[in-house]
Amino acid sequence: MRLHANASTCDVRSVELVALSSAALPMAVLTAVDEGDAEGLLAAHGLGPLRLLAGIAGGSVNSNFALEVPQGRFFLRLYEEQDRAGAERETAMLERLAAAGVPTPSPLRRLDGDFVSQVRGKPAALFPWREGQMRCQAGVTADDARRLGAALAQMHLAGAGEEAPAGRFRFGDLLRRLEGIAASGDPRFVPLVPALRASLERLHGVRDGGLPGGLLHGDLFRDNVLWDAHGEVAALLDFESACQGSYAYDVMVTVLSWCFGDDFDPGLASALRAGYEGVRPLSEAERRSLCVEGSFAALRFAITRITDYAMRTGTTGPRVVKDWTRFRKRFEKLQALGDAGVRALLGC
């Protein structure tokens, strides 16, 4: 999605669609889709004729498009990394979450009852379009944070029975990424590896493996939430990183994204925690683990932003800038606060 904001107020960000014929289309659309592809997909859903096909600029993993037909507007996702089985698991999970009241669009079934089609050799799914806006950091309010915390808790409860994958960002996965950085010879990042590895190993050694857990969103950043005109959560988006893990980790991923500008904002952090606990109270063990889980999350995003963005050298792939040092700063702030300080930050 291409995002734009009023530079003076930075109150909201809106989705801007870019026609596929535009030469300025960023590389977020990794696989081109033409009108014939779209019409075939629509026919499989009993929809059409096609009135508009537009790529959605932005994002970093999948190719996304808007389709307009007489019945309305729809969202098309091409899964660039998941195979068909993975796309089928994800779409079935999203249908169950939506049916349980989680504010996320439920995928549309084809006429044959399946969710997943094949477009240009890639799994593809069609979703109803959700109108909404995205918040920039300066526009996030305590009410936003409270509502978001409640929506996250609702997702955790609704997904308790889901058999989600183990995930791609576990301790071993991150160690392998560090090994890749060390082997790269990149003078910008090789010197960072020993300290990053030591911090990662230390945190892994003290994480509580017995914390309550289940299905996590794993990536509930500001560009993965839409807000309606009344300030309510319209949609939680992009479950590409959904996996099994501790709920406290997911809470802290969300705090790291929504409650940090140049430093943590105690008002936003405590409001997010209060909204979450209004739906699902945290256990004492979870409260004691917030600093460790948040620090591990901050390292996860620092490392993956180095490997997936800062070290990207090819001319293909998404041209997305994600600054890894922002998460190193979050990590350092959490470490300076310590367990008691993080609990005070969240008001618990």
Residues 152 and 287 in one domain: yes
- List, for residues 182-241, the tens digit of each pLDDT value: 999 999 999 999 999 999 999 999 999 999 999 999 999 999 999 999 999 999 999 989
Q: What is the pLDDT of residues 112-126, one digit of tens each?
A: 999 999 999 999 999
Task: Tell me the pTM.
Answer: 0.89
User: In the prediction, which pLDDT does 164 show?
Assistant: 84
pLDDT for 58 equals 61
Taking only the tens place, the pLDDT of each residue in 255-271 is 999 999 999 999 999 99
CATH number at residue 244: 3.90.1200.10
* pLDDT tens digits, one per residue of 238-259: 998 999 999 999 999 999 999 9
Indicate whether 333 and 186 sit together in one domain. Answer: yes
Same domain, 259 and 337: yes
Query: Are 76 and 177 members of one domain?
Result: no
- Residue 277 predicted with pLDDT over 50: yes
104 and 182 fall within a common domain = no
One domain, residues 238 and 309? yes
148 shares its domain with 285: yes
Residues 6+ apart with CB under 8 A from 110: 44, 45, 117
Domain boundary among 95, 128, 161: 128
Number of domains in the chain: 2
Q: What percent of the chain has pLDDT above 90? A: 83
pLDDT band at 10 (very low <50, low <70, confident <90, very high): very low
pLDDT digits (tens, 9 = 90+) for 116-171: 999 999 999 999 999 999 999 999 999 999 999 999 999 999 999 898 889 999 99
% residues pLDDT > 70 (the chain): 89
**Cβ atoms 56, 63 nearer than 8 A:** no
In terms of residue numbers, what domain contains 290?
A: 137-345
